[in-house]
């Protein structure tokens, strides 16, 4: 049967570009262990994983070899009936088992037209049993991965305990066709382009900010012999990644969520405001701070369950006067963010290109040092038959940091508390730097929540 | 399909409901589970489907299906 070839959509392209830039597919890998602290029937789990390859189309995506311009195409293989391997790491310590799985994350999917995912059933130490998923980011993003893990466990509960068979997942191909059609809508594209051009020009050129203060920009200015340079050099040689995880207790998390609910603001915006306020403090009160926010374009029911990589990232420029009260600053930021949401189907690569054309920053320089993804959906496994069983989810870094600081905020599958997972470039930042960042972010966030009328200037000077 | 039905079909795509279950008193956020992103994406969807220009500030203030229908009718009449 002839293969039906499609181009990558904008979300997939965003993941593919670093592969082209770095020459390694590794930077596009996602590797996760997800398991339960209970006995699992591995024969049954294997059946569920094999079912999932039939149910979740995106797992059967294949990519062609790059053409002369470096572009690849994709198609969905009809079937994938492979065996599911089993790995017993239960005789090791947890850190040894994690180190073993960490090593596996560096394995690359480099050949064209091969499966881009490996799922291994794993018996871990301390009674945890589950699966290790090693997958190319173009097939799923974090939401897509969570949908998949939850679906496999729903299947497991169906076969094991007779619970209801899970609803079908949406077709990746149908949503892709719809996305590609939308991308060709000239009227929409013109509107989006106008929005982004206006957005990037209305306040002039952005300026770099960093938790290490203004010396990073000063060093770049010296290196380029340009005293007015507003973008700083990006670390491109050593991309080794450091990870720092912090867990916020469920009661404190609930307090933040109640605040968001009461004032009609989103958790994403609350975190973004805190990030930019700390950067402002580190930059000696600079009121012009640009962040990068990752938006998961999952709005319709089909988009939620079709898999794929629907995460796009856009610059978020915040110019907030120190006299602004915390809550008003939050509304200001939310207004900007809402406008971005209306135009977030636009190609983010084109936005970055526009920024470069407008202000001509030198190659390998950036205005942004911190990026955020907020993931509101926990790895659930909340089927009544699994209730009360402790879960363990570990995201193993792929060893290549393309961003200076990339913060992912998720909800713990055990207690619902927020997990702040910072990935940072070890060549330029230390664990202590990140620990300090988290400490100040929490202090600022809770002070703002307790005193919504505190000004941003007060927060910067007193926290 | 008339415009009201088409409008309800679009809303239904964003929530776990059939178009026939959606009533005019339903609120986007509280009753239908819209968040900021899905609401803004839905506005873009309306613009593309009905080939109209929404006034962003006005559209953002809409809270119920009935208000949205009323607003859309004013655009159709223009």
- Asked if A157 and A267 sit in the same domain, the reply is no
Q: Is residue A1 part of a domain?
A: no
- Asked if A254 and A397 sit in the same domain, the reply is yes
Of A205-209, A254-258, B31-35, the poorest mean pLDDT is in B31-35
Question: How high is the pLDDT of residue A23?
Answer: 80
Q: A349 in contact with B at a CB cutoff of 8 Å? A: no
ipTM higher than 0.90? no
CATH number of the domain residue A425 falls in: 3.30.559.30
Question: How high is the pLDDT of residue A397?
Answer: 81
Of A68-77, A246-255, A329-338, A413-422, the poorest mean pLDDT is in A413-422
Measure CB to CB from residue B13 to each of A296, A300, A341 and give the nearest one: A300
How close A12 gets to chain B, by Cα (Å)?
Answer: 19
- Asked if A424 and A311 sit in the same domain, the reply is yes
Asked if the Cβ–Cβ distance from A345 to B56 is below 8 Å, we say no
- Asked if A149 and A239 sit in the same domain, the reply is no
Q: What is the mean pLDDT of residues A129-154?
A: 94
- Asked if A18 and A72 sit in the same domain, the reply is yes
For the cut 80, the answer to whether the pLDDT of residue A146 exceeds it is yes
Chain A hits for B48, Cβ within 8 Å? 182, 185, 187-188
Question: How high is the pLDDT of residue A1?
Answer: 65
- The residue out of A151, A176, A201 marking a domain boundary is A176
Of A370 and A393, which is predicted with more confidence? A370
How close B17 gets to chain A, by Cα (Å)?
Answer: 10
Asked if the Cβ–Cβ distance from B40 to A266 is below 8 Å, we say no
- The residue out of A142, A176, A210 marking a domain boundary is A176
Question: How high is the pLDDT of residue A382?
Answer: 58
**How many independent structural domains does chain A possess?**
2
Q: A189 in contact with B at a CB cutoff of 8 Å? A: no
- Asked if A326 and A221 sit in the same domain, the reply is yes
Q: What is the mean pLDDT of residues A267-294?
A: 97
Q: What is the mean pLDDT of residues A358-377?
A: 92
**First vs last C-alpha separation in chain B:** 20
Per residue in A20-73, pLDDT tens? 887 888 888 999 999 999 999 999 999 999 999 999 999 999 999 999 999 999
Q: Is residue A181 part of a domain?
A: no
Q: What is the 3-state secondary structure (H, E, C) of chain A?
A: CCCCCEECCHHHHHHHHHHHHHCCHHHHEEEEEEEECCCCCHHHHHHHHHHHHHHCHHHHEEECCCCCCCCCEEEECCCCCCCCCEEECCCCCHHHHHHHHHHHCCCCCCCCCCCCEEEEEEECHHHCEEEEEEEECCCECHHHHHHHHHHHHHHHHHHHHCCCCCCCCCCHHHHHHHHHHHHCCHHHHHHHHHHHHHHHHCCCCCCCCCCCCCHHHHHHHHHHCCCCCCCEECCCCCCCEEEEEEECCHHHHHHHHHHHHHHCCCHHHHHHHHHHHHHHHHCCCCCEEEEEEEEECCCCHHHHHCCECCEEEEEEEEECCCCCEHHHHHHHHHHHHHHHHHCCCCCHHHHHHHHHHHHCCCCCEECCCEEEEEECCCCCCCCHHHCCCCEEEEEECCCCCCCCEEEEEEECCCCCCEEEEEEEECCCCCHHHHHHHHHHHHHHHHHHHHCCCCEHHHHHHHC
Question: How high is the pLDDT of residue B1?
Answer: 67
Measure CB to CB from residue B44 to each of A296, A337, A342 and give the nearest one: A342
Model confidence at A280, pLDDT cuts 50, 70, 90, reads very high
Model confidence at A384, pLDDT cuts 50, 70, 90, reads confident
**A257, A331, A342, A375: best to mutate for the B interface, most B CBs within 10 A:** A342
Asked if the Cβ–Cβ distance from A344 to B60 is below 8 Å, we say no
**B27, B33, B39, B40: best to mutate for the A interface, most A CBs within 10 A:** B40
- Asked if A171 and A205 sit in the same domain, the reply is no
Question: How high is the pLDDT of residue A409?
Answer: 93
Strand partners, A7: A73
Asked if the Cβ–Cβ distance from A300 to B14 is below 8 Å, we say yes
For the cut 80, the answer to whether the pLDDT of residue A381 exceeds it is no
CB contacts under 8 A, B 37-76 vs A, are: 37-38, 40-44, 47-48, 51, 56, 60
Q: What is the mean pLDDT of residues A217-224?
A: 97
- Find the radius of gyration of the CA atoms of chain B: 11
For the cut 80, the answer to whether the pLDDT of residue A379 exceeds it is no
Instruction: Name the residue in chain A with its Cα closest to that of B15.
Output: A301
- Asked if A40 and A144 sit in the same domain, the reply is yes
- Asked if A165 and A203 sit in the same domain, the reply is no
**In which domain, by residue range, is A160 found?**
6-176
Per residue in B39-76, pLDDT tens? 999 999 999 999 998 988 889 889 999 999 999 999 88
The domains of chain B, with CATH numbers, are: 3-77 (1.10.1200.10)
Of A383-387, A409-413, B25-29, the poorest mean pLDDT is in A383-387
Q: What is the mean pLDDT of residues A334-342?
A: 93
CATH number of the domain residue A145 falls in: 3.30.559.10
- Asked if A396 and A282 sit in the same domain, the reply is yes
- The residue out of A176, A206, A239 marking a domain boundary is A176
% of residues, chain A, pLDDT over 90: 82
- Asked if A15 and A51 sit in the same domain, the reply is yes
Question: How high is the pLDDT of residue A416?
Answer: 86
- Asked if A308 and A429 sit in the same domain, the reply is yes
Q: Is residue A414 part of a domain?
A: yes
């Amino acid at each position: 049967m002839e293969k039906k070839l499609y181009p990558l959509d904008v979300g997939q392209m965003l993941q593919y570009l670093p592969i082209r830039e770095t020459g390694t597919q590794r930077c596009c890998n996602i590797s996760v262990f997800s398991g339960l602290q209970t006995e699992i029937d591995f024969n049954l789990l294997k059946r569920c994983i094999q079912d999932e390859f039939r149910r979740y189309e995106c797992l059967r995506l294949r990519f062609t070899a790059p053409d002369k311009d470096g572009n690849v195409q994709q198609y969905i293989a009809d079937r994938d009936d492979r065996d599911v391997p089993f790995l017993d790491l239960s005789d090791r310590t947890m850190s040894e088992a994690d180190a073993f799985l960490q090593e596996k994350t560096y394995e690359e999917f480099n050949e064209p037209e091969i499966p881009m995912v490996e799922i291994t059933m794993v018996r871990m130490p301390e009674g945890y049993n589950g699966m290790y998923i090693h997958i190319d980011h173009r097939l799923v993003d974090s939401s897509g991965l969570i949908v998949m893990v939850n679906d496999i466990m729903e299947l497991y509960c169906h076969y094991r305990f007779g619970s209801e068979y899970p609803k079908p997942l949406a077709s990746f191909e149908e949503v892709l066709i719809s996305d590609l059609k939308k991308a060709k809508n000239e009227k929409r594209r013109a509107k989006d382009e106008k929005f982004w051009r206006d957005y990037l020009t209305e306040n002039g050129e952005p300026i770099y900010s960093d938790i290490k203060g203004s010396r990073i920009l000063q060093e770049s200015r010296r290196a380029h012999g340009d005293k007015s340079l507003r973008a700083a050099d990006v670390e491109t040689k050593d991309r080794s990644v450091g990870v720092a995880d912090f867990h916020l207790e469920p009661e404190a998390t609930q307090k933040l969520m109640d605040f968001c609910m009461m004032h009609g603001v989103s958790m994403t915006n609350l975190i973004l405001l805190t990030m930019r306020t700390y950067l402002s403090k580190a930059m000696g009160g600079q009121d012009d701070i640009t962040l990068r926010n990752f938006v998961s374009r999952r709005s319709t029911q089909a988009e939620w369950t079709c898999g794929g990589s629907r995460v796009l990232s856009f610059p978020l420029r915040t110019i907030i006067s120190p006299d602004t009260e915390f809550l008003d600053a939050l509304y200001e930021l939310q207004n900007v963010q809402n406008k971005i949401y209306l135009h977030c189907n636009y190609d983010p690569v084109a936005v970055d290109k526009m920024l470069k054309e407008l202000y001509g920053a030198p190659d390998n320089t950036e205005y942004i040092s911190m990026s955020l993804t907020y993931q509101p959906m926990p790895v659930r496994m909340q089927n009544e038959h699994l209730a009360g069983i402790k879960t363990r989810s570990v995201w193993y870094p792929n060893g290549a940091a393309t961003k200076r600081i990339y913060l992912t905020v998720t909800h713990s599958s055990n207690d619902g508390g927020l997990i702040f997972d910072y990935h940072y470039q070890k060549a330029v930042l230390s664990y202590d730097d990140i620990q300090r960042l988290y400490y100040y972010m929490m202090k600022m966030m809770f002070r703002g929540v307790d005193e919504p009328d505190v000004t941003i200037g007060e927060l910067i000077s007193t926290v | 399909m008339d415009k009201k039905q088409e409008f309800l079909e679009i809303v239904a795509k964003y929530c776990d409901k059939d178009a026939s279950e959606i009533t005019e008193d339903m609120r986007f956020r509280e009753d239908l589970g819209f968040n900021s992103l899905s609401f803004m994406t839905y506005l873009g969807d309306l613009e593309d489907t009905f080939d109209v220009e929404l006034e962003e500030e006005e559209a953002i203030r809409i809270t119920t299906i009935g208000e949205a229908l009323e607003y859309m009718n004013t655009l159709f009449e223009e």
